[in-house]
Amino acid sequence: MDTIKLYLRSMKMLMRCQMEYPRSFLLNTLSQIIMQGGELFAVMLLIDRFQRIGQWQGKHILFFFGMMTITFYLVECFGRGISNFSPVVQSGALDTMLLRPRGILTQVCCYAVDPRRLGCIAIGIAALCTGSRACQIVWTLPKALLLLESIAGGFLLITALFMIEAVTCMHSVKSIEMVNVFTYGGRSTCQYPIDIYPGPLKIMFTVIAPFALTLHVPAAYILDMQILNLPGWAAFVTPLSGLVSFLIMYTVFQRSLKHYRSTGS
Amino acid sequence: MPYIQVTSLQKSFTLRKKRPHSFRRDKETVHALSDVSFSIDKGELVGYIGPNGAGKSTTVKILSGILTPDGGSATVNGRIPWLERKEHVRHIGVVFGQRTQLWWDVAPMDSYKLLRDIYRVPEEQWKKRLGELSEALALEDFIRTPLRQLSLGQRMRAELCGSLLHSPELLFLDEPTIGLDAVSKLKLREFLKEENARNKTTILLTTHDMDDIQELCSRVCVLGHGKLLFDGHLRDLLSRYDTLQFLNIRYASPALLPALPEGCAATHRDGAWQIAYDPQKIQTPTLIQLLQSAGTLSELSAEKQSIDHMIARMYEEMHL
Amino acid sequence: MMNLCIRFLRPLSPHSLLRRLKPYFSVFMMRFRIETQYRGAALGGIITQVFFGLMLIALYTTLYQSAPQTVPLAQTVTYVWLQQSCFRMLLSTDSELMQTVRTGGMAYEMCRPLSPYGFYYTRAMAQKLVGSTLRAVPMLLIAFLLPAPWGISLPAGVWQLGMFLLALFMGLLCTCAMSNIAMAFTIRSLDNSGITSAMNLLLVTFCGNLLPLTLFPDKWQKFIRLTPYAQLLDAPIRIYTGEYTFMQSIETIGIQVFWTCALIALGYFMWHRNQKHMIVQGG
């Protein structure tokens, strides 16, 4: 409870910091909306030309795109400290955090927020709603809860993937661009349903970085479609893979903090 | 048992140097601390000096729980800092002179509120402490101004307040007076003395400003090449090196300098002479008489060696 | 304005021309050396770009299965590889330069006895050239080694290859002119994030990186082909794949020359105005 209070207080303060530069904030939010709008535009042009991808139609793709966009940018917005970890190490903020009687991950989460990403999330919500309406989804309570569970699972998964980069930062200060394959690559790949891809990509994003399990399986259930030959009830279980990924990375993160403390800079 | 007990502390780092035109890297081990032992009692105010790269920050980082040493032991109030981090840091405050722990775009007051929540300081206690500190540090004028608009001196005062809000028993100060003007420096020293006397706060101060040490610290530790070279009173340290004095003279009419006894050195500048000598070997009046024998003096002044010069000589003699 | 034209048209003997170009050459070589130091970063970039290439090809392969297109799949695959490997040519952030602008070090740079426009143009060119060559060569090697549906096809013919390289070089000149215009905006407003990201979006969308221009609605393509964005990579790639006849290629290079000259003139004018503005500011 106490931790949540601290988090909310930090968020309030960081928002106030952002509002110290209102012009820059507005311009940036606008350009973020345009950027994500551009991505949506490209997807729509693709749908316009090809009409369908595998078993999916344009309206389905919009739904998938919306879910991925919302989830990814929720992390980029509220987990900014983790998704952009290398400045935390380089500026020495991590040292300051070690000097305070609180958990490091808590403090990293409290360190930064990027409200400009709210624009991207809005684009995602718009795509999701449009897709949902076009598919004429009948929203029931289980479906609504599943959507929330799926987004929460995806949030944890993406946070875990960003933590890989954070861990490499602590070891060598310079972050490795390669990890982007899982984070940004995962976003670009998995904004389309996983079953349109060949084997290796399928395995990569089902087993190694389970975007398919956290987002696609529940989305297919909500859309009354089938994906990966899984039974219907599985959709309620698979998003938990996000939690599992997070717990694994949480352990690794804590361990590498110990290592950081023994090398420092 | 002393408040801080450090026994044969060791810490080394491996540096990776990139070779030009090659993907291979050379490894090099640097011994930041090779065998350091000392103890500090509660309420002491200790100066910790040494040339750049001597291992001062490493010691501070180990004692504050940021770094884990390779060997040896250290306890602060019976706790091992790097093993009991959360419990330990609750009782310490740290100020890095070149880094800020407050939030850049908001007023110090907002930062203090957040620090209150981070350290879980009860509201009543926080209010009382903030009142004391803001009076002692004269924060009233700028406590509601965004940090980035404050001058360096104001910022340092705000910073100090931030690290003392949770009433730490132990305060680490890393070059707190760097870049401050004379007035700010004096005020800061005054405050530290008072804080030390009133709340029995133990203070470990690292600095390059010898005036800080002279004004504040009864005890000084000198670190060099990862070893403790001196531990004791500043006066004792200086008496070892306070062996040089200077005479500045000018002759009324051009004259040749007489032959000087051994141990004296003369330098000539703009028609004037500066003679460096050891007053224990040759007495000042004797030297003046000798100089007057060569001609009438139009100017005569004596000068003691500055403390910075002495420290520089000390470092030189210790091959630092 | 008159003054500007005179400076442009001042007659030069070959010898003095060489002497006046020498500093720019040094700037180029300096940047060249700095860029080649970031080989480690280049490796990470290559892996990421290859991944994106493979993912896009997988996507298009599936798309083509459900709706065959007039543009053959192999051509789209080639398009993707060339886009991915030359990606660095389009977008390359010069963080050091941004830092100079933000900290006000720019006024100092303006005092050099060189044309600031030329200075930054050369700098951008070296950066883009080295950055993209370091990535493109290994990436294209990988793309050539990949099996049939995944790999890049050879150029349509010998003259196409030659024309492709020429057009690519023109594209480089054009993109450098564009980044100098962005730079002029940045110096003006001192805050780059808003305008640059909007400009980058236009760039990524309309040069065919987000989606090959060949897959845009057919009606739009006639217009997009003429924009400066299409000159950077899209035009050279179309020559490479043999989509254009010889005459069309010549025409394309003509369009490229036009845009390069126009953008350089615009950029030069903007920098010139900035410079005046700054001198006034300095008092």
CB pairs under 8 A between A and B: 68
Closest by CA to B52, choosing from B155, B174, B158, B161, is B174
Q: A53 vs C41: CB contact, 8 Å cut-off?
A: no
CA–CA distance, B211 with B213 (Å, rounded to integer): 5
Q: Do A98 and B66 touch (CB under 8 A)?
A: yes
Beta-bridge mates of residue B94 = B172
Chain B closest-CA separation from residue A253 CA (Å): 16
Q: Residue B175's closest CA among B233, B89, B95?
A: B95
Nearest chain B residue (CA) to A259: B68
B89 interfacial to chain A (CB closer than 8 Å): yes
Residues of C with CB below 8 A from A49's CB? Answer: 67, 69, 215, 217
The SS3 assignment for B281 reads coil
B130 — pLDDT class (breaks 50, 70, 90): very high
- Pick the residue from chain A with its C-alpha nearest to C201: A35
Chain A residue closest in CA terms to B116? A6
Q: Of C136, C51, C144, nearest to C90 (Cα)?
A: C136
- Confidence label for C282 from pLDDT (cuts 50, 70 and 90): very low
B67: chain A residues, CB-CB within 8 Å: 261-264
A229: exposed, middle or buried (Cβ count in 10 Å: 0-12, 13-18, 19+): exposed
Cβ–Cβ of A99/B106 closer than 8 Å?
no
Which chain C residues are within 8 Å of A31, Cβ to Cβ? 193-195, 197-198, 201
CA–CA gap between residue A212 and residue B83 (Å, rounded): 40
Q: Is the pLDDT of residue B146 over 80?
A: yes
CB contact under 8 A, A42 and C69: no
Among B136-140, B247-251, B256-260, where is mean pLDDT lowest? Answer: B256-260
Q: What is the pLDDT of residue C94?
A: 63
pLDDT value of position A72: 95
Mean pLDDT across chain A: 88
- C-beta atoms surrounding B155 within 10 Å: 19
Q: Which residue of A has its CA nearest to B70?
A: A262
Q: How many residues does chain A have?
A: 265
Q: Do B118 and A95 touch (CB under 8 A)?
A: no
pLDDT of residue C191 exceeding 70? no
The pair of structure tokens assigned to A203 is 């395995």
The interface predicted TM-score of the complex, written ipTM, equals 0.86
User: CA-nearest residue of chain A to B67?
Assistant: A261
- The pLDDT value given to residue B124: 93
Q: Which residues of C touch A45 (CB under 8 A)?
A: 211, 215-217
Query: Judging by DSSP bridges, how do beta strands B170-174 and B202-206 pair with one another?
Result: parallel
Do the beta carbons of residue A66 and residue A131 sit within 8 Å?
A: yes
A139 touches C at CB < 8 Å: no
- Once rounded to an integer, what is the mean pLDDT over residues C173-178? 90
CA distance C214 to chain A (A): 11
Q: How far is B276 from chain A (nearest CA, A)?
A: 43
Which class for C160: exposed (0-12), middle (13-18), buried (19 or more C-beta within 10 A)? buried
Residue B8: strand, helix, or coil: strand
> B93 to chain A: nearest residue by CA?
A99
Tell me the pairing of strands A52-53 and B71-76. unpaired
Nearest to C63 among A50, A178, A181 (CB): A50
β-pair type (A52-53, B219-224): unpaired
Percent of chain C scoring above 70 in pLDDT: 79
- Contact, A36 vs A124, CB < 8 A? yes
pLDDT exceeding 90 applies to what percent of chain B? 24
Q: Which residues of A touch B13 (CB under 8 A)?
A: 263
Q: Over the stretch C75-116, which tens digit does the pLDDT of each residue have?
A: 889 989 998 888 778 776 666 676 666 666 666 666 666 777
C-alpha distances in Å from residue B282, one per residue of B82, B264, B268, C90, C143: 55, 9, 21, 77, 86
Facing residue for A178 by CB, picked from C47, C65, C210: C47
Instruction: Please tell me the distance from the alpha carbon of residue C256 to that of residue C264, in angstroms, as a whole number.
Output: 12
Q: Please check whether residue C65 is in contact with residue C161, taking contact to mean a CB–CB distance below 8 angstroms.
A: no
| Chain-centroid distance, C-alpha B84 | 28
Residue B187 pLDDT exceeds 80: yes
Q: Which residue has the higher pLDDT, A133 or C204?
A: A133
A24 and C191 within 8 Å at the Cβ level: the answer is yes
Q: B268 has which bridge partners?
A: B273
User: What pLDDT is stored for residue B74 in this prediction?
Assistant: 92
pTM of the model: 0.83
A155–C contact, CB cutoff 8 A = no
Radius of gyration of chain B (CA): 25
List of chain B residues whose C-beta atoms are within 8 Å of the C-beta of residue A20: 105-106, 146
Report pLDDT digits (tens) over A181-201: 889 889 989 999 998 888 888
Task: Of A234-243, B95-104, C138-147, give the lowest mean pLDDT range.
Answer: B95-104
Q: Looking at residue A145, what is its pLDDT?
A: 94
Q: How far is CA A179 from CA A46, A154, A198, B126, C57, in A?
A: 27, 17, 21, 44, 21
Query: Out of A117-126, B207-216, C33-42, C149-158, which region has the weakest mean confidence (pLDDT)?
Result: C33-42
CB contact under 8 A, B120 and A101: yes
**Cross-strand bridge partners of residue B300:** B249
pLDDT of residue A210: 92
Residue C281 has pLDDT above 50, yes or no: no
- Averaged pLDDT, A146-160: 95
Q: Say whether residue A32 is in contact with chain C using an 8 A CB cutoff.
A: yes
Q: Which two tokens stand for residue A126?
A: 């718009």
The conformational region for residue B132 under phi > 0 = left, psi -120 to 50 = alpha, else beta, is alpha
Which sequence spans correspond to the domains of chain B?
4-239, 243-304
Residue B161 confidence (pLDDT): 92
Question: H helices then E strands: how many in chain C?
Answer: 14, 0
Cβ-based contacts of B99 with chain A (< 8 Å): 92, 96
Confirm or reject contact between B246 and chain A (CB < 8 A). no
At a CB cut-off of 8 Å and minimum separation 6, what does C109 contact? C100, C116, C119
pLDDT value of position C280: 45
The pLDDT score that the predictor gives to residue C104 is 62
Query: Closest by alpha carbon to B273, among B257, B252, B259?
Result: B257
Amino acid identity of residue B151, one-letter, is S
pLDDT score, position C211: 83
Mean pLDDT of C133-159: 86
For B243-304, CATH number out of 3.30.70, 3.30.2320, 1.25.40, 1.20.120 equals 3.30.70
How confident is the model at residue C10, as a pLDDT?
54
Which residue is closest to A102 within chain B, CA to CA? B86
CA dihedral C238, C243, C249, C251 (to 10 degrees): -100
- What does the pLDDT look like over C66-83, one tens digit per residue? 777 778 888 889 989 998
Contact A178 C41 (CB under 8 A): no
Q: Determine the residue type at A207.
A: V
Q: Is the pLDDT of residue B18 over 80?
A: no
What pLDDT does A169 receive? 82
Sort out which chain A residues have CB atoms less than 8 A from C217's CB and list them. 45, 48-49
Q: For A51-117, where are the alpha helices, taking DSSP H only?
A: 58-78, 80-83, 86-90, 93-98, 104-111
Q: Please report the pLDDT score of residue B5 as a whole number.
A: 93
Please list every residue in chain C whose beta carbon sits closer than 8 Å to the beta carbon of residue A46: 63, 211, 215
Q: Which residue of B has its CA nearest to A257?
A: B66
Q: Which CATH number fits domain B4-239: 3.40.50.300, 3.40.50.970, 3.40.50.2300, 3.40.190.10?
A: 3.40.50.300
Confidence of residue A155 (pLDDT cuts 50, 70, 90): very high
Residues C273-283 have a mean pLDDT of 59
Q: Does B146 touch chain A (CB under 8 A)?
A: yes
Span A64-91, average pLDDT: 89
CB contact under 8 A, A197 and C55: yes
* Residues of chain C with C-beta less than 8 angstroms from the C-beta of A30: 194, 198
Element (H, E) at B29: strand B25-40
Specify the range with the lowest mean pLDDT, choosing from A98-112, A142-156, A243-257. A98-112
Q: A192 Cβ partners below 8 Å, 6+ apart? A: A53, A56, A61, A64, A65, C59
Over residues A22-41, the mean pLDDT reads 82
pLDDT band per the 50, 70, 90 thresholds, residue B277: confident
Element (DSSP H or E) covering residue B204: strand B202-206
Q: Provide the percentage of residues in chain C whose pLDDT is more than 90.
A: 10
Query: Are C47 and A28 in contact (CB < 8 Å)?
Result: no
Contacts of A34 in chain C (CB under 8 A): 197-198, 201
User: Closest approach of chain C CAs to the CA of A38, in angstroms?
Assistant: 7
pLDDT above 80: residue C41: no
